[in-house]
Structure 1
Amino acid sequence: MNTKLPLILGSSSVFRQQQLRTLGLIFEIAKPDFDETARTGESAADTALRLAVGKAQSLAAAFPQALIIGADQVAWCNGQQLGKPMSVANAQHMLAALSGKTLTFYSALCLLNTASGRLHTHTDTTTVTMRALSSRQISRYLEREPDAIYCAGAAKSEGLGAALLQRIDSSDPNALIGLPIFKLVDFLQAEGMPVL
């Protein structure tokens, strides 16, 4: 079975767009309209999955005959969720707090077939150990990697952020960038859109 449904990436993330391009997929980009506020008492994994599904579902009315990819990532460390810092000052503070610590990234993915209503979901767990970082190293990193403010935990692992990291444990190295590609390939295959 081969689907003729268009593939929609429900994300404005340039990192996720590049991941899909690497797979050679033809897709459209749509910016979801969904409140990304964490709920009180919600686990980081639950937040990531709720946001991924919510982003995809927020686009369903605009794309009633499509495969929509929803994704979100939440980092967890020191008993709290870490989002995207969105400013250099926040990133400096966040990276100083993470120096030498181990944190967990929950990278959630969903594929919604709006024609059939089928929904595939997965949350990948990646454990990252940060190097001990000086304030000078953090400042130099943020000067050289300005996009890091748009990454959960301010760690852009696919770029210079790799120098911040001491160890990564994951079943899918792509998940830390933002999209668990291994599961996405499975989901697309199940919906009649084989990558190979």
Structure 2
Amino acid sequence: MAATALPVVLASTSTFRRKQLQTWGLPFECAAPEYDETPLAGEAAAGTARRLAAGKARSLAARFPACLIIGADQVAWSGGRQLGKPMTPERAQTMLESLSGQSIVFYSAVCLLNTATGRLHEHTDTTVVQMRRFDRATVARYLQREPDAMYCAGGAKSEALGSALIERIDSSDPNALIGLPLLRLADFLAAEGVCIV
């Protein structure tokens, strides 16, 4: 069991991020952040991800004093536009069809806020995903078998059946594409006195 100096809070309701953090056996609590996730005009995708991760963590600071709050956000970019979470099967179908054979850049930001000291650690991981070429019928079959994909940026759940739609992934942290860059988060927690192993 991991040892912690301060209580750890994950500023997210994402089941994907919760499962990722649970792999460490680290005691933590989940809390829903209250932060407007609308991208700002002219804001770069990486900047959006970083701002939202920090904003989510800071939104819980008053509620969780003397805690370590983990904030995270992911923005997908392809074809000169940000790709959000489709949220409906119809939008997921359209989005994935447009991504056939395309390259997607995922910016996965993570931060750790120590609310006792105000210290903030931040990192944004860049993952490049090359999608295979696939047709409309393939996308429809995929979404029927993987309905949670509509809650993933870009519409492809890479850690499950969505991997069959992907040709190549280039990243320094294989966890980042799922939504939580664990390799850098381990460094941040260690700097705040949390022993993972």
TM-score band, normalised by shorter chain = over 0.9
Which amino acid counterpart does residue 168 of structure 2 have in structure 1?
R
Shift of 1:4: 3.0
Q: Secondary structure at the match of 2:105?
A: strand
Distance 1:4 1:168 in 2: 35
State, as a whole percentage, how many aligned pairs show the same letter.
Answer: 64
Per the normalisation by structure 2, the TM-score is 0.97
Shift of 1:3: 5.0
1:168-189 residue CA offsets vs partner (Å, 9 max, x unmatched):
0000000000000000000000
* Structure 1: gaps of 5 or more residues: none
Q: Which residue of 2 aligns with 1:174?
A: 175
1:65-120 residue CA offsets vs partner (Å, 9 max, x unmatched):
10000000000000000011111111011101110001100000000000010000
Distance 1:83 1:53 in 2: 18
Q: Which residue of 1 aligns with 2:105?
A: 104
Q: Which residue of 1 aligns with 2:46?
A: 45
Matched, 1:89 2:86: no
Which amino acid counterpart does residue 167 of structure 1 have in structure 2?
R
Q: Secondary structure at the match of 1:108?
A: strand
Which amino acid counterpart does residue 39 of structure 1 have in structure 2?
L
Distance 1:49 1:99 in 2: 27
1:6-25 residue CA offsets vs partner (Å, 9 max, x unmatched):
10000000000000111111
Q: Which residue of 2 aligns with 1:130?
A: 131
Q: Segments of 4+ in structure 1 off by > 3 A?
A: none
Q: Which residue of 1 aligns with 2:119?
A: 118
Distance 2:144 2:113 in 1: 38
Q: Which residue of 2 aligns with 1:34?
A: 35
Per the normalisation by structure 1, the TM-score is 0.98
* Structure 2: gaps of 5 or more residues: none
CA RMSD in angstroms comes to: 0.8
Which amino acid counterpart does residue 75 of structure 1 have in structure 2?
A
Distance 1:20 1:66 in 2: 16
Q: Which residue of 1 aligns with 2:12?
A: 11
Shift of 1:155: 1.1
Q: Secondary structure at the match of 1:157?
A: coil
Distance 1:4 1:111 in 2: 14
Shift of 1:194: 1.5
Q: Secondary structure at the match of 2:125?
A: strand
